[in-house]
């Protein structure tokens, strides 16, 4: 295995392509395809070694099949929109190619994040001897693998998991999202939920918050939202009693989001305008800055990790595993901001694991079901070092009491 097809030329897709091009000992042939050919061509020029590019509408299964048959990849890395996951999985099954993505499928008409559409593909991939790896970005992705590492190396049982995600950067824009605006806003405005004692507990959007001490950033307000890795981790982590996901949003972001919601600009259902049917959130996306355009002037850091409480040899243990990533450093390396970098690098590393035979199997897998150590060792080499520390209960007092 040495031939990869990357679908999607947004910020994350650009990072995957550029990182693969930096590792030609693993990736002998790299092809990037997207709906917008000019984006592919710009990325192609920025890669440090040669890649090929083409135009592709990934909503069209027949087009994707034709692209796969022409390029003959061993693996398709899906960096397109979550709406396109199933179409690309279908194309991989039709052509006998392995599959990987960074976000679970979501239908356009419902803001619902769940693996219930992708997990049923397991038997079909298994029957064909193919591997489908789901959610190999940072969160989901590295956050899942941090939990798998803790389960393998640090604790006999993990009872409580708090995934904490802070972007403490500044891009200088009045309002912008760090990844696809449509997906970002749908994610934030849906009802939140968390898992406790065997059941899901729903809350109103952004209705629960607490102060969290983020490594190398400091105390910031984190909001409790739902995130897809919770759904798989409750199945794969032994002894789990509770899992929550916390993300920071600036007061400015919340202010703009409130206004946009109040005037209907975050709606995902169609409305008539001058005799033309439009979807407000898609129109809003067209007005907002392209996330990949934010890199040049971005300052500050992201701080993302997992705070875990459990037992080891009968004794209580509290650990945090985390990564801190600098926006300006990412821009210097590959003209990317840190959110794109932390999404794209893990996908490239996951592909390396598959190509090197360190991740293997037949069927559909979430990343915490795969060996964490070789992945994390390579992740650090590829630009995302990670750290394990004891949790200071006094510093994280508000989070641990929430």
Q: List, for residues 150-161, the tens digit of each pLDDT value.
A: 999 999 999 999
State residue 200's pLDDT score. 97
Reported confidence tier of residue 253, pLDDT bands at 50, 70, 90: confident
Reported confidence tier of residue 316, pLDDT bands at 50, 70, 90: very high
Task: Report the mean per-residue pLDDT for the chain.
Answer: 94
State residue 402's pLDDT score. 87
Tokens standing for residue 270: 């169609």
Q: Give CA torsion, residues 103, 105, 109, 110, to 10 deg.
A: -80
State residue 39's pLDDT score. 96
| Core vs surface per residue 247-261: b (16+ CB within 10 A) or e | bbbeeeeeeebeebe
User: Percent of the chain having pLDDT more than 70?
Assistant: 99
- Residue ranges per domain, the chain? 3-134, 142-334+386-401
| Core vs surface per residue 370-394: b (16+ CB within 10 A) or e | bbbeebbebbeebbbebeeeebeee
State residue 291's pLDDT score. 78
Tokens standing for residue 169: 């950067």
State residue 353's pLDDT score. 98
State residue 182's pLDDT score. 79
DSSP label of 238: T
State residue 356's pLDDT score. 98
Nearest one of 87, 89, 102 to 143, comparing CA atoms: 102
Reported confidence tier of residue 192, pLDDT bands at 50, 70, 90: very high
Tens digits of residue pLDDT in 17-68:
999 999 999 999 999 999 999 999 999 999 999 999 999 999 999 999 999 9
Tokens standing for residue 268: 């995902």
Mean pLDDT of 317-339: 96
Q: Is the pLDDT of residue 189 over 90?
A: no
Q: Tally Cβ neighbours within 10 Å of residue 8.
A: 28
Q: Is the pLDDT of residue 108 over 80?
A: no
* Separation of alpha carbons 166 and 193, rounded Å: 19
The model's pTM:
0.94
Angle between helices 85-95 and 61-71 (to 10 degrees): 50
Mean pLDDT of 138-149: 98
DSSP reduced 3-state for 114: coil
Q: Are strands 242-248 and 157-167 parallel, antiparallel or unpaired?
A: parallel
Q: Tally Cβ neighbours within 10 Å of residue 152.
A: 11
Q: Are 165 and 179 in contact (CB under 8 A)?
A: no
Task: Output 210 or 265, whichever has higher pLDDT.
Answer: 210
* Separation of alpha carbons 182 and 260, rounded Å: 13
Bond into 315 cis (ω within 30): no
Q: Give CA torsion, residues 217, 381, 349, 84, to 10 deg.
A: 30
Mean pLDDT of 199-223: 96
Residue 289, phi-psi category: left (phi > 0), alpha (psi -120 to 50), beta (remainder): beta
Q: Are 303 and 216 in contact (CB under 8 A)?
A: yes
State residue 116's pLDDT score. 95
Mean pLDDT of 300-307: 97
* Separation of alpha carbons 258 and 249, rounded Å: 12
Reported confidence tier of residue 181, pLDDT bands at 50, 70, 90: confident
The tokens 């279908």 sit on which residue?
Answer: 90
Tens digits of residue pLDDT in 256-288:
888 888 888 888 889 998 898 999 888 988 888
Mean pLDDT of 223-239: 96
State residue 251's pLDDT score. 84
Q: Can you name the residues that pair with 97 across neighbouring β-strands?
A: none
Instruction: Choose the weakest-confidence range: 145-159, 160-174, 214-228.
Output: 160-174
Instruction: For domain 3-134, give the CATH superfamily.
Output: NAD(P)-binding Rossmann-like Domain (3.40.50.720)
Instruction: For domain 142-334+386-401, give the CATH superfamily.
Output: Dihydrodipicolinate Reductase; domain 2 (3.30.360.10)
């Amino acid at each position: 295995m040495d031939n990869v097809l990357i679908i999607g030329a947004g910020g994350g897709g650009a990072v995957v392509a550029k990182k693969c091009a930096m590792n030609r000992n693993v990736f002998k042939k790299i092809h990037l395809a997207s709906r917008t050919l000019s984006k592919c061509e710009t990325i192609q020029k920025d890669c440090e070694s040669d890649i090929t590019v083409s135009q592709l509408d990934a909503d069209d299964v027949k087009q994707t099949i034709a692209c796969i048959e022409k390029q003959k990849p061993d693996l398709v890395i899906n960096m397109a929109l979550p709406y396109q996951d199933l179409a690309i999985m279908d194309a991989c099954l039709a052509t006998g190619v392995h599959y990987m993505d960074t976000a679970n499928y979501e239908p356009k008409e419902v803001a619902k994040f769940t693996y219930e559409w992708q997990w049923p593909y397991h038997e079909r991939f298994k029957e064909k001897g193919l591997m489908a790896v789901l959610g190999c970005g940072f969160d989901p992705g590295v956050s899942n693998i941090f939990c798998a590492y803790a389960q393998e190396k640090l604790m006999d049982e993990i009872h409580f998991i708090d995934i904490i995600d802070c972007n403490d950067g500044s891009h200088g824009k009045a309002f912008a999202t760090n990844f696809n605006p449509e997906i970002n806003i749908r994610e934030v405005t849906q009802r939140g939920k968390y898992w406790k004692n065997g059941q899901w507990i729903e809350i109103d959007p952004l209705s629960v918050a607490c102060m969290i001490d983020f490594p190398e950033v400091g105390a910031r307000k984190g909001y409790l939202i739902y995130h897809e890795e919770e759904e798989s981790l409750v199945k794969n982590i032994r002894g789990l009693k509770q899992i929550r996901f916390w993300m920071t949003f600036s007061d400015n972001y919340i202010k703009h989001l409130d206004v946009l919601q109040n005037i209907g600009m975050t709606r995902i259902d169609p409305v008539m305008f001058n005799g033309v049917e439009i979807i407000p959130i898609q129109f809003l996306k067209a007005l907002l800055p392209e996330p990949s355009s934010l890199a040049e002037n971005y300052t500050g850091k992201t701080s993302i990790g997992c705070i875990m409480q459990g037992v080891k040899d009968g004794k209580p243990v509290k650990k945090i595993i985390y990564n801190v990533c600098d926006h300006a450093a990412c821009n210097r390396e590959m003209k990317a901001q840190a959110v794109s970098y932390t999404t794209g690098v893990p996908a490239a590393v996951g592909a390396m694991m598959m190509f090197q035979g360190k991740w293997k199997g037949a069927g559909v897998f979430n990343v915490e079901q795969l060996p964490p150590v070789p992945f994390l060792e390579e992740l650090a080499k590829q630009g995302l070092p990670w750290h394990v520390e004891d949790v200071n209960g006094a510093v994280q007092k508000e989070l641990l009491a929430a």
